Amino acid sequence: MKHSGSGTGAHCSRRNRRQPYAWLGAGAVTLGIGAALASGSAVAYADTGAGSGAGKTSSASSESGSASATATDSSTAKKATARSARSSAATSSGGNVSSRKASAAAASNVPAAAVVDTDAAETATGNSPAATLSSTGHSARVHAASATTSTAAGDSSSPAAANSTPSSTSWLPSTPPVVASVAVSLAQQQIALAQSELQQQTWGSGNFAAGLVSIAPQILLAQAALALNTWETSITPAQSLYARTSGVPIVHELAGVGLLGALLLPTLATTALNSVGLFLPLVGALEGTGGITAVQNAVSTAALNGRVYALVPVTMRSTTEPIVYITVNGGPSTPVLVDTGSSGLVLTAASVGDAAPLGAPTGSGTSGYSGGLSYGYTTYTTTVNFGNGIVSGPTSVNIVNAADSAAALAFFHQLGGASGVLGIGANAAGPGPVGIPTTALPGDLSQGVFLYQGLFLGVAGVMVFGPNPLPTRTSVSGAPDAYLNVKINNGSPTTVGAIIDSGGVYGTILSSMVGGASNVPVGTRISVYTADGVLLYSYIVTSQNRPTVISSGLINTGYAPYQHGPVYLDYTTPDGMGSTNFDYA
């Protein structure tokens, strides 16, 4: 979704046969995590035509020439009107973008180059640093921003080629920085403190009765500490073994069982800590001086910090739309589109509850979709609940203004029946602001987001918060904006700026990459690689899944990479741009 306009605010704003038993791979591991939290289909092969990296063999490819064959004509039509937030160009060879571009450009101060997008690109400003960016799938892209203290760079009244350079704007919090596994270390310290304090307030003070009752919580605290310590020492070897055995039937699945065991250890720890809380009131009653309060505080905080993974089910609508349900400020359960191509949560006031006063707004702006929607929004600080106890701390939410809410909601409903958009990208075009909801989750849950849209036969998938549960096969710098090598059939790879966009439907491609054609011919093989030649995924174009042709700008991968295998967005990179990690399945 491409953002444009102006605003004011307080902040800157590939066909392989599946290996036998492949279904026992990443799917089994992820399912196991989900089952616990609720109390591989990719084949490696060498593609000698990968250019500079032709010799690499650790490239898993998933191809889905028919992955989207079930898409209906209506969803195809929707793609042309409700998508792409950034990877389009100033003009489209496909002929279905120019009219949207014109309407979007007319509705905002964003230059035509910034507004162009092949599918419902959104443009917005107000919450991001001044910048002019290109667009993507239906993510909130091409966010050409202008804050009160600056004007959009490169603003021009005349059409120009869309920017083909990936965004260098980070929406990750810088203070404090997101640091891997810090929370687990804190949890271990808090457990040790609770053990010591509990000992002192019971046996240490000569209270025999309280000491006897404290035996059970002390055992549980020791179990929690052991589980977290074991996780820290076993997770890396387990992931390494899982990676080394990739493509080896049975052995790989056995390695997956071992990895699953390691992944479940933090859940065992938090279960033990929650159980401790059941005993402490009785210990406190017998202790009689209120000294157990400090123990209770340490235990409850350790339970939050010790939660390493948290799973949210994903429903795939209209083949390409990943939907999850959230509640905002205690409001109704609301379906939102999981969009890696944008950054920030956008919804209407009807989805926001009144569990707590929203307080004064922290920013405002205008935004629009090149499909014709234009709206104003106001940013407030509140909490976002993903279910199963996964609740963010105070975070920014962009609420569409009342006058535009009906039109915005109607537009959102085109996105698989969504009522809002959850942008989880680290360096997308916006709308922001800095500190998106997925970085406001407690403990290590804010490290990143694991997304496997095609886990259940393409009908459903999973989203996991926390560190990457699976080993990384290869990675590209940037999430979602990155440089990729794209090969058409047996041609030479072309390095392009791209948006790796779960919300980009079937994506976009440059006309220069398909011989200047206005449509990608059915039967065309599109293969996508890292800059050093590692194959990320490959598929054959059908009449249903063909990407839209654009003349310039960032291309959009569309939902394909997320449908073909597990992908992890890492928020812990030092540069704040994030990274997109393609995992072993």
Q: Which residues are catalytic?
A: 339
Torsion region of 152: left, alpha or beta (phi above 0 gives left; psi -120 to 50 gives alpha): beta
C-alpha distances out from residue 238 to 21, 22, 217, 244, Å = 19, 18, 30, 10
Rounded CA separation 456/7 (Å): 41
Distance CA 425, CA 569 (A): 8
Neighbour tally for 407: CB within 10 Å:
16
Nearest of 59, 14, 1 to residue 501 by alpha carbon = 1
What Å distances lie between residue 92 and 99, 333, 455, CA to CA? 10, 38, 33
E strands in 384-517: 384-385, 395-400, 420-424, 448-456, 460-465, 472-477, 481-488, 494-499, 508-510
Interior angle at CA 373, CA 408 and CA 73, nearest 5? 90
Nearest of 196, 188, 450 to residue 340 by alpha carbon: 450
Encoded tokens for 55: 């010799």
Read out DSSP for 17-78?
PPPTTGGGSHHHHHHHHHHHHT----EEE--TTSGGGTT---EEE---TTTTTT--HHHHHH
Q: How far apart are CA 528 and CA 556, in angstroms?
A: 11
* DSSP tag of 437: G
CA nearest 139: which of 312, 345, 325? 345
Strand-strand pairing, 508-510 and 548-550: parallel
User: 242: helix, coil or strand?
Assistant: helix
Task: Residue 117: name the closest of 82, 158, 71 by CA.
Answer: 82
Q: How far is it, in rounded angstroms, from Cα 449 to Cα 211? A: 43
- The rounded distance, in Å, linking the Cα atoms of 443 and 429 is 26
Distance CA 55, CA 468 (A): 27
